[in-house]
Chain A
Amino acid sequence: MKISKTIYLFFLPGLLLYSIFFLYPTVSALFYSFTDWDGLSDAYQFVGVGNYERALTGDSVFRKTVGNNLKFMLMVVVFQTLTALVFAMIVLKNTKANLFLRALYFFPTILSSVSVAFIWAFIYDPSLGILNQILELLGLDFLQQNWLGNSDIAIYSLAVTQIWFHAGQMLIIFVAGLQAIPEDLYEVAKIEGASKWQTFRKVTWPLLAPSATIVIAYTTIQSFKAFDLVFAMTGGGPNNSTEIIATYIFDVAFRSYNFGYASAISVLFMIIIAFITFLQFKALRSDRISY
């Protein structure tokens, strides 16, 4: 069947905006990454791979930032995925109570990062905070902390907040994945006398692998994009201990006015994300089975 050429007009408005406000800046990030542009003046010079060299060999803050981001990512991916999976299995059946609980667990996802940041700043507050008060009530005073002020633990405090924020969303994805597994497979496993763990390992997990891939990949990307939350909660401090790559780019560009260098870090950021996504898909693919 012949399609009228007017179909190309359908792409026009979207493609125009996408090219101007997305593709062009993305490509020029690559261009600016080879310059020493400060973002304000008209003049800049090409510095070759100087910015990349600086990021990879000379900048200890950048290295720390990548480390922070990986810590944050690992903690969120592991604990958020486990929380979501375990609770998805408990609230799996569509009973009234379970539907209510799912809606409740999902709730934080609709809040803005700034709101979540304020809520948790209050929870973590060293003197007013609910967390230290509960620890005192339980007689666990020795565990009391300045949760966001202590540079050894602040990044983990942020990770807990991120999990509170988004675990419910992942839980819902797991529920959808689990509900798609045919009942009779569990029946067969039962008749065969499989233990609970065996049933999980041989039936649930392989069939859940596609949802797990999605959850893990999405959580990973989300943990790299946690700019809003980190920016509003700690601004990267204390002592850069919660600086993640995204907030560092912001600092280098808009506080130190080093656009060229910030662009180079942006490009490295993109490479890191592409690499991690690739690894995950490869690792999780191998675990897929179909019955």
Chain B
Amino acid sequence: MLFRKFSLAVYALLILIPLLMVALTSVKTLQETFRDPLGLPEDGFQWSNYSAIFQEQTMAGYFMNSTIVTLFSVVLTLFFASMIAFGISRLKNWMGNILFGLFTLGMMVPAQVNMVPLYSLMLDLNLTNSLLGLILVNIAVTLPIAVFILTGFMKTLPRELFEASTIDGAGNWQMYTKVAIPLSLPSLSATAIFLFVMHWNDLLYPLLFITDNAYKTLPLALLEFQGEYSTNYPMLFTGVIIASAPMVIAYVFLQRFFVAGMTAGALKG
């Protein structure tokens, strides 16, 4: 019993200490960090790193880019995927099965497999250095998993509900907006959170398609701070805190949904 408690505490500390270290280092000066990397800040908290990073970097711009790309990617993926899931669950024939198979096939292919031709396609379409380009690729890449999760859910909805609405003269579109979507909210919200975390944190596609500072998202900007600040950990960690803040705040308040969403993604992925 004691051993169990001890293990739990050790694991908890393994998570907590690095996180505390990030927070503390971000309010220390570089000299302090080099003198005593693990100590508390001696002359009180130094907020200068935060003001410096906003002065030296176009943080607000990166933040904005990440927000735009994430929001549009999540909303449009959910919209298109839920329409497909609805279509598949309505079409109970071989066409439905083939379409379902076609989309789920995409879950097996790691993004790195097609990054080379995708890059040249984006060049040809003039979609590099463009937020629209990132959004379009994000949708295409996360569509398979979203279709998979949502179809699984929509197939469990009672048929009678759809049949009743047909008798009332509802067309496919009404059935989708009035019956399928409201009933699928639990599954939609779980998928939304999974997509949020994925898009907000994505590095690969910005790395491939964005070279202009005006279109960089937070993870890519953060990565490039490493080149600029090298081992200036106070600055790097200030960047980490700013980039993670929205996710962390959302996690604190919506923890239950996060856990459901992230495991739905894993269970189905």
Which chain B residues border A111 with CB–CB below 8 Å? Answer: 201, 244, 247
B110 touches A269 (CB 8 A): yes
- In the complex, what's the smallest C-beta–C-beta distance from B189 to chain A, in angstroms? 16
Which chain B residues border A107 with CB–CB below 8 Å? Answer: 15, 19, 251
Which chain B residues border A11 with CB–CB below 8 Å? Answer: 83-84, 87, 99
Asked if A197 CB lies within 8 Å of chain B CBs, one says no
Which chain B residue lies CB-closest to A20? B140
A113 touches B201 (CB 8 A): yes
Which chain A residues border B80 with CB–CB below 8 Å? Answer: 13-14, 17
Q: Which of A1, A32, A111, A170 has the most CB of B within 10 A?
A: A111
Q: Is the interface of A mostly helix, strand, loop or mixed?
A: helix
B114 touches A29 (CB 8 A): yes
Which chain A residue lies CB-closest to B17? A130
Within 8 A of B (CB), among A208-242: 214-215, 218, 221, 224-225, 227-228, 231-232
Asked if A77 CB lies within 8 Å of chain B CBs, one says no
Asked if A195 CB lies within 8 Å of chain B CBs, one says no
B236 touches A266 (CB 8 A): no
B33 touches A227 (CB 8 A): no
Within 8 A of B (CB), among A160-216: 164, 168-170, 172-173, 176, 214-215
Tell me the complex Cα distance, A39–B118, Å.
Answer: 11
B269 touches A218 (CB 8 A): yes
Asked if B263 CB lies within 8 Å of chain A CBs, one says yes
Contact of A114 among B86, B114, B117, B219 (CB under 8 A): B219
Which chain B residues border A101 with CB–CB below 8 Å? Answer: 8, 11-12
Asked, given contacts A112-B243, A172-B263, whether A269 binds B116 with beta carbons under 8 Å apart, the answer is no
B37 touches A225 (CB 8 A): no
Tell me the complex Cα distance, A243–B90, Å.
Answer: 46
A266 touches B116 (CB 8 A): yes
Asked if A110 CB lies within 8 Å of chain B CBs, one says yes
Which chain A residue lies CB-closest to B159? A1
Q: Which of A101, A122, A214, A224 has the most CB of B within 10 A?
A: A122
- In the complex, what's the smallest C-beta–C-beta distance from A262 to chain B, in angstroms? 5
> Beyond the given A29-B117, A253-B119, could you list 4 further A-B residue pairs with CB under 8 A, ordered by the A residue number?
A22-B114, A112-B222, A113-B201, A125-B37
Chain A residues proximal to chain B, CB less than 8 Å: 1, 3-4, 6-11, 13-15, 17-18, 20-26, 28-29, 32, 39, 83, 86-87, 90-91, 101-115, 118-120, 122-123, 125, 128-130, 133, 164, 168-170, 172-173, 176, 214-215, 218, 221, 224-225, 227-228, 231-232, 245-246, 249-250, 253-254, 259, 262-263, 266-267, 269-270, 273-274, 277
26 contacting pairs across A/B (C-beta < 8 A): A3-B172, A6-B171, A10-B172, A18-B140, A22-B114, A23-B102, A25-B115, A25-B121, A28-B117, A29-B117, A32-B116, A32-B117, A39-B119, A101-B8, A109-B262, A112-B222, A112-B243, A114-B219, A114-B223, A119-B18, A119-B240, A130-B17, A130-B18, A176-B263, A225-B112, A270-B109
